[in-house]
């Protein structure tokens, strides 16, 4: 039966209230991140130091997530999100103070990023596992699409706003706005409470903390279908990392730097459109089929992106890859939310997230050197490859990166075919029972919070 928009809003309203607050604070944080990136690059002129800002944002998510997951299962998730937001803002405030007093150095930003990202690593397993109880299972795809929209909207809005604000209110003003937007996330969490769903006693029994850290991995290994789905998802993260590291240098081989920003905005629009599609789309087909089709199409578009030194062909192809990525990743996340027991989602999601996010820098450090040291020399004008395959795809600067994209596209299609034929993954939706409730079983009341217990140990 087709649901009406008022019905969808009513059944998702608790999630929607929290989501709007998270969207506002994410935009504020993204503007600050953009402003700090600009400050670092203008101060140092070093691409390496600029890249280190991103690295120090990513590493804590990989290293801390396996610890954060067990705590998300042990503690009150709502309070964990509140305190994570509060503590993450401390690093930003310190940066603002140092800037005002003229003491800010680049290494201060590295430390602040490590500090803030560490607390954000505690937030996201609590947020994703909370979504499973805030949203009926038939709306999980929509909810994950909206979480993808959150990132896409911030990515599109932050650069132009950051540029304007840097000229008007400077870095200290941007940091103040970031701090104010944080309260849009915290206030809804303070006045609302999440539905309580009982979990089996064996999921909540006292274990050693070390057992809890390894529990998520053991849980996935004992369910080969979920393990295969995680590997599938990790592949998509690797591809995004690989595309990101190739995109800028490849565009600059056939277009001026003035065009680069426009092209990158188009890619962000692709992610936004993909998030909108999965938010609106009521999925009735088998999820594994949709994921597989999305991955095969991504492989096809990756192949066409490298086929010719054409700005239009490359832009259109990568646009569709970024459009398909939130569709596939949102559906994958919805499967995990449906199939993983509520009481262990923090542990499972954290280990899964650490592995998947780790594949993004893996894409950076493998594809970048391959492009620069291997494929670009192969496709030089005086190389034997230029006289063979170069007659088809062209030769010279950028054609090695194009060939690498084509190979990655073919491998993506092959890997998707192998994954689709893997029996545990193919039968995952039918054989593994759903672990969360239907809409009628989730509380229909959004009530003011009587003080929930603050997590013990904080």
- What secondary structure does DSSP assign to 278-291, as a single string? HHH----S-HHHHH
pLDDT at 45 over 80: no
Quick one: 127 and 244 in the same domain?
no
What pLDDT digit, counting tens, does each position of 351-367 carry? 888 888 888 878 877 88
- Domain residue limits at 387: 212-436
Residues 223 and 339 placed together within one structural domain of the fold? yes
| Average pLDDT of span 291-297 | 93
| pLDDT value, residue 330 | 86
Q: Are residues 166 and 292 in the same domain?
A: no
Q: What is the mean pLDDT of residues 334-343?
A: 86
pLDDT (average), residues 42-49: 68
Q: How far is residue 343 from each of residues 199, 204, 215, 436, measured CA to CA in Å?
A: 6, 7, 12, 10
Q: Could you tell me the CATH number of the domain that includes residue 311?
A: 1.20.1250.20
Q: Give CA–CA dist 451/389, Å, rounded.
A: 68
When pLDDT is cut at 50, 70 and 90, the band that residue 450 belongs to is: very low
Q: What is the pLDDT of residue 184?
A: 92
Lowest mean pLDDT among 71-75, 101-105, 411-415, 424-428: 71-75
Per-residue confidence (pLDDT) for residue 383, from 0 to 100? 63
Q: How far apart are CA 55 and CA 117, in angstroms?
A: 11
Q: What is the rounded CA–CA span in Å between residue 208 and residue 406?
A: 48
* Mean pLDDT calculated for residue range 52-72: 79
Question: What are 195-230's pLDDT values in tens digits?
Answer: 765 555 444 445 666 777 788 889 999 999 999 999
| Of residues 206 and 451, more confidently modeled | 206
Task: Return the higher-pLDDT residue of 195 and 83.
Answer: 83
Q: Taking a C-beta distance cutoff of 8 angstroms, is the pair 29, 57 a contact?
A: no
Q: Is a pLDDT exceeding 50 seen at residue 453?
A: no
Rounded distance between C-alpha atoms, residue 118 and residue 121, angstroms: 5
Instruction: Tally DSSP H helices, then E strands, for the chain.
Output: 18, 0
Task: Inform me whether the pLDDT recorded for 440 exceeds 50.
Answer: no
Residues 315 and 186 in one domain: no
pLDDT value of position 302: 94
CB distance 18 to 188 below 8 Å: yes
What is the Cα–Cα distance from 232 to 123, expressed in whole angstroms? 24
In total, how many domains does the chain have? 2
Residues 113, 186, single domain; the answer is yes
Predicted confidence (pLDDT) at residue 438 exceeds the cutoff of 60:
no
**60 and 126 in a common domain:** yes
Whether residue 174 is found in the same domain as residue 294 = no
Cα separation, 347 vs 358, in Å, equals 17
Q: In the predicted model, what is the mean pLDDT of residues 65-90?
A: 85
Task: Give pLDDT, residue 246.
Answer: 82
**Digit-coded pLDDT (tens) for 382-431:** 666 656 676 677 777 778 888 889 999 999 999 999 988 999 988 888 88
Distance from C-alpha of 415 to C-alpha of 403, rounded to nearest angstrom: 18
Q: How far apart are the first and last CA of the chain?
A: 46
Cα-flanking dihedrals φ and ψ of residue 101, to 5°? -90, 10
Find out whether 350 and 129 touch, Cβ atoms under 8 Å: no
269 pLDDT more than 80: yes
Q: What was the pLDDT predicted at 411?
A: 93
Same domain, 172 and 284: no
Q: Is 437 helix (H, G, I), strand (E, B) or coil?
A: coil
Percent of the chain whose pLDDT exceeds 90: 15
Phi and psi at 311, nearest 5°, equal: -65, -40
Specify if 145 maps to a domain: yes
Q: Is residue 442 part of a domain?
A: no
* pLDDT at residue number 409: 93
pTM over 0.85: no
Angle between helices 257-280 and 224-251 (to 10 degrees): 150
């Amino acid at each position: 039966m087709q649901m009406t928009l008022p019905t969808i809003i009513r059944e998702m309203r608790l999630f929607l209230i929290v989501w709007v607050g998270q969207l506002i604070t994410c935009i504020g944080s993204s503007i600050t991140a953009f402003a700090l990136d600009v400050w670092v690059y203008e101060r140092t002129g070093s691409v390496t130091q600029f890249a280190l800002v991103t690295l120090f944002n990513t590493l804590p998510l990989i290293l801390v997530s396996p610890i954060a997951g067990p705590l998300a299962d042990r503690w009150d998730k709502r309070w964990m999100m509140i305190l994570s937001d509060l503590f993450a803002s401390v690093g930003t405030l310190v940066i603002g103070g140092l800037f005002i007093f003229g003491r800010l150095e680049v290494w201060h930003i590295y430390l602040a990023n490590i500090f803030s990202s560490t607390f954000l690593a505690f937030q996201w397993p609590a947020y994703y596992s909370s979504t499973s109880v805030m949203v009926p299972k038939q709306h999980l795809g929509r909810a994950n699409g909206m979480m993808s929209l959150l990132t896409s909207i911030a990515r599109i809005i932050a650069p132009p706003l950051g540029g304007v604000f840097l000229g008007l209110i400077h870095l200290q003003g941007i940091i103040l706005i970031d701090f104010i937007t944080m309260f849009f996330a915290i206030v809804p969490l303070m006045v609302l409470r999440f539905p309580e769903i009982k979990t089996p006693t064996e999921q909540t029994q006292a274990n050693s903390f070390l057992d809890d850290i390894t529990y998520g991995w053991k849980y996935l290994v004992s369910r080969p279908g979920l393990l295969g789905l995680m590997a599938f998802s990790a592949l998509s993260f690797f591809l995004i990392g690989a595309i990101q590291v190739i995109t800028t240098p490849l565009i600059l081989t056939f277009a001026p730097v003035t065009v680069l920003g426009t092209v990158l905005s188009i890619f962000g629009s692709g992610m936004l459109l993909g998030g909108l599609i999965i938010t609106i789309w009521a999925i009735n087909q088998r999820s594994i089929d949709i994921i597989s089709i999305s991955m095969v199409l991504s492989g096809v578009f990756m192949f066409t992106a490298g086929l010719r030194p054409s700005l239009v062909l490359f832009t259109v192809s990568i646009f569709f890859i970024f459009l398909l990525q939130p569709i596939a990743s949102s559906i994958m996340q919805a499967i995990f939310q449906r199939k993983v027991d509520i009481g262990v989602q923090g542990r499972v999601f954290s280990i899964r997230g650490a592995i998947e996010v780790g594949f993004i820098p893996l894409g950076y450090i493998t594809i970048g050197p391959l492009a620069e040291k291997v494929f670009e020399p192969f496709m030089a004008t005086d190389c034997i490859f230029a006289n063979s395959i170069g007659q088809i795809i062209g030769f010279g600067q950028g054609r090695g990166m194009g060939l690498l994209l084509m190979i990655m596209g073919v491998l993506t299609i092959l890997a998707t075919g192998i994954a689709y034929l893997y029996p545990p993954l193919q039968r995952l939706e039918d054989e593994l029972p759903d672990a969360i409730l239907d809409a009628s079983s989730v509380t229909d009341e959004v009530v003011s919070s009587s003080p929930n217990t603050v997590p013990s140990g904080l």
